[in-house]
Structure 1
């Protein structure tokens, strides 16, 4: 009797919380339709975009080509790019597959979506009634979540329609609020409905299981974002002024820097320049607007915001333009990645690693499995303190004066990325789709 009562109470609690979430979603919808929203605001654009997304998706069904539909969902641009290598391999293996993309962020709405996707639009509101209409119209063979932007009712409705819900490149930050109560208990049923998770790392896999994913439905496959970064074509037209300016001299590229990184890098650069007078530095602040503040204070420097040429006499170039850093690592002999002196941790080290470059960064790298793997592989060095300019200079000099050691360190970094994650993930997803299709035919 007590066990039955406990089961009843748990079910009642789940029904209540599910109902409360759906009620809040519908209330937000009503407010979004009735309140005047500023179309210029990011949040407003996202709300407006999602409100009418269902009608646009259903209208598109009449235009779509024949083929098995795979629905990919990503929060924004970065998550979409992580899914691209998996989608490309699936399409190469099964050309009849038709991929569509939904997103949550207005940043993705303003982006040129890869041609792999035949349709891209906002994710409709997370309302079961709306989602049932969408699934009935689209009839996808599977829904893939890139990284893990899961919406409770979207996962639930896909399960009710017997459509596999799969996470590719799955990652859960140890600081995620999803791992804290009461969210953790409520989300457990959402995660338990997932058919498969390809996790980036073992710690990520453990966190997914902690959230409710069944152990037999998860595998550590590595990060498909690595495949994208390695395979991404370099925009040579964008970096040509820097190639001409470098003129064969060694260049250190310091990317995504903050003030602490910049002080350290500039001191180390000055020390190394005493031994290597031809050395040049490219400084790319994490916030491009700061470039105009940094450049005037430096001698023999130039501010670059997109000009066709860089002054030949400049030894330091401060970049004040967004979106170029990943390509700038092309000219680097050594890279320094910023953020490692902040509590939030180091920024992305994947881009310099893709070019086979040795890397340095600050001591706070626990947020980045890639940085940890590069350290273990011997391709990167962590600088312990903001005042360690002499230590940083010594490390840079060792790589600059021993090219074979620098090449070896860079090769180790690139090897960290080349784990074949996209291939493994694509094969796993295709196997699930084929198995589900066969099961449906046999019923």
Structure 2
């Protein structure tokens, strides 16, 4: 693709978005009926808001979903601590809940506007941000172009490009360059990510490590943890978390294989998409397994085979109930899921071999002995059985995983250094405006 065609394509995208804008109302309404949008806040997706812009400098921080939101919370806390206002946008109802729980009224939360010119322009005209910080891999053409046209510095933090995304952008390298040239700085998760962003035309690029390592472990309701932990008692247990289609069936098969050696074993299954709970319950019932659903607050009784974690925001609970965790989207699906939370919460980490999206984190965990890869159902069953039977080896993996996480810390400090040229003028501006307001 030539540079000329890339510019033409972006112009066409801009025009197509303007034409499509009046037609997207039905789609947003449909998402609302499925619980994917807050009905009372749908207008935010078009850039409308009932909240006045506060006085002083504003940073627009965007994180798509729960994982990205949790990752940038410490960064946001630092920025707010400088006296700078933050408008935080997310794309999901669950991530909005996380913002409310973890940041409260210290930030203004809005749902991210649709990547259509009228919506983005309205949002930017109202909030008039002095700096835009985008988390991970959210590359929205219209948003990037509109920010660029308004000369608003844009910084991508915790940047990541999966194998698939990089291959797709590489085929459209002029298009990637036309977009990435609008970014003032890219702060990448790993050396590989940094090299990929550089190859696509981003300048400058800093490698920070993963911001998720510098977050605190997910919180837990201590009373709930004590109650369910008491119900489980001394039973041997393991968890399959962040599982995708087909991996729950594998976990159920592993449970059956392990039950011959551990008659009272409990398997905790936490699907990546909890709305699949009804379907999973039916499949487990076909296998003759007794299930306790967390979404219904059903107790774990001595004959419960599976605790089905079909809730959102309780990973901290599930991982604290066991010392062995298989991390999904890695055996039958591709890409993997983040292994850092399980390692932080003192579990021996197991995973399939398809972990391309978290290659760097897994490499460091495996090198330290905190994680092991398995290739199929039988190998997973064997690994869980081995760890259940060998407390010493299990503890070694747990300690090694925790040490690996500690060694990976430092991304927040590196990110703050990269942001300093953009943040420091806003700190000065905030102080001057505050002093001026006090004199009045």
**TM-score (norm. length: structure 2):** 0.80
1:351 and 2:341 matched = yes
Q: Which moved more, 1:314-323 or 1:430-439?
A: 430-439
Quote the Cα distance in structure 2 between the aligned partners of 1:196 and 1:334: 39
The structure 2 residue matched to 1:427, chosen from 385, 394, 417, is: 417
Contact 2:368/2:401 (CA < 8 Å) preserved in 1?
no
1:328 and 2:318 matched = yes
Q: Which residue of 2 aligns with 1:138?
A: 127
Contact 2:329/2:336 (CA < 8 Å) preserved in 1?
yes
1:241 and 2:227 matched = yes
Matched position secondary structure for 2:415: helix
Shift of 1:119: 1.9
Distance 1:177-1:382 versus aligned 2 partners, 3 A rule? closer
| 1:325-404 correspondence to structure 2 within 5 Å | 325-369=315-359, 370-388=361-379, 391-393=382-384, 395-397=386-388, 399-402=390-393, 404=395
Quote the Cα distance in structure 2 between the aligned partners of 1:282 and 1:41: 27
Q: Which residue of 1 aligns with 2:435?
A: none
Contact 1:90/1:427 (CA < 8 Å) preserved in 2?
no
Distance 1:376-1:272 versus aligned 2 partners, 3 A rule? farther
Tell me, which stretches of 5 or more residues in structure 1 are unaligned? 1-8
Quote the Cα distance in structure 2 between the aligned partners of 1:309 and 1:16: 57
Quote the Cα distance in structure 1 between the aligned partners of 2:218 and 2:309: 23
Distance 1:261-1:36 versus aligned 2 partners, 3 A rule? closer
Shift of 1:110: 6.8
Contact 1:25/1:125 (CA < 8 Å) preserved in 2?
no
Shift of 1:352: 1.3
Matched position secondary structure for 1:344: coil
Shift of 1:36: 10
Q: Which residue of 2 aligns with 1:175?
A: 164
1:28 and 2:20 matched = yes
Shift of 1:170: 0.8
Contact 2:3/2:174 (CA < 8 Å) preserved in 1?
no
| 1:96-107 correspondence to structure 2 within 5 Å | 96-105=83-92
Q: Which residue of 1 aligns with 2:65?
A: 76
Q: Which residue of 2 aligns with 1:415?
A: 406
Distance 1:33-1:327 versus aligned 2 partners, 3 A rule? closer
1:222 and 2:215 matched = no
Matched position secondary structure for 2:320: helix
Contact 1:357/1:409 (CA < 8 Å) preserved in 2?
no
Q: Which residue of 1 aligns with 2:433?
A: none
Matched position secondary structure for 1:283: strand
Quote the Cα distance in structure 2 between the aligned partners of 1:34 and 1:355: 42
Contact 2:6/2:174 (CA < 8 Å) preserved in 1?
no
The structure 1 residue matched to 2:48, chosen from 31, 46, 55, is: 55
Quote the Cα distance in structure 1 between the aligned partners of 2:329 and 2:335: 5
Matched position secondary structure for 1:384: coil
Contact 1:295/1:303 (CA < 8 Å) preserved in 2?
no
Quote the Cα distance in structure 1 between the aligned partners of 2:296 and 2:428: 58
> Aligned-pair RMSD on alpha carbons?
3.6
Matched position secondary structure for 2:89: strand
The structure 1 residue matched to 2:148, chosen from 156, 159, 166, is: 159
Q: Which moved more, 1:332-341 or 1:285-294?
A: 285-294
Matched position secondary structure for 1:198: strand
Tell me, which stretches of 5 or more residues in structure 2 are unaligned? 430-440
Quote the Cα distance in structure 1 between the aligned partners of 2:169 and 2:120: 28
**TM-score (norm. length: structure 1):** 0.80
Quote the Cα distance in structure 2 between the aligned partners of 1:377 and 1:161: 47
Q: Which residue of 1 aligns with 2:33?
A: 40
Matched position secondary structure for 2:270: strand
Q: Which moved more, 1:18-27 or 1:327-336?
A: 327-336
Quote the Cα distance in structure 2 between the aligned partners of 1:40 and 1:136: 30
Q: Which residue of 2 aligns with 1:254?
A: 240
Quote the Cα distance in structure 2 between the aligned partners of 1:259 and 1:231: 25
Distance 1:55-1:387 versus aligned 2 partners, 3 A rule? closer
Deviations 1:317-347 (A, max 9, x none): 3315222333211121222223332142433
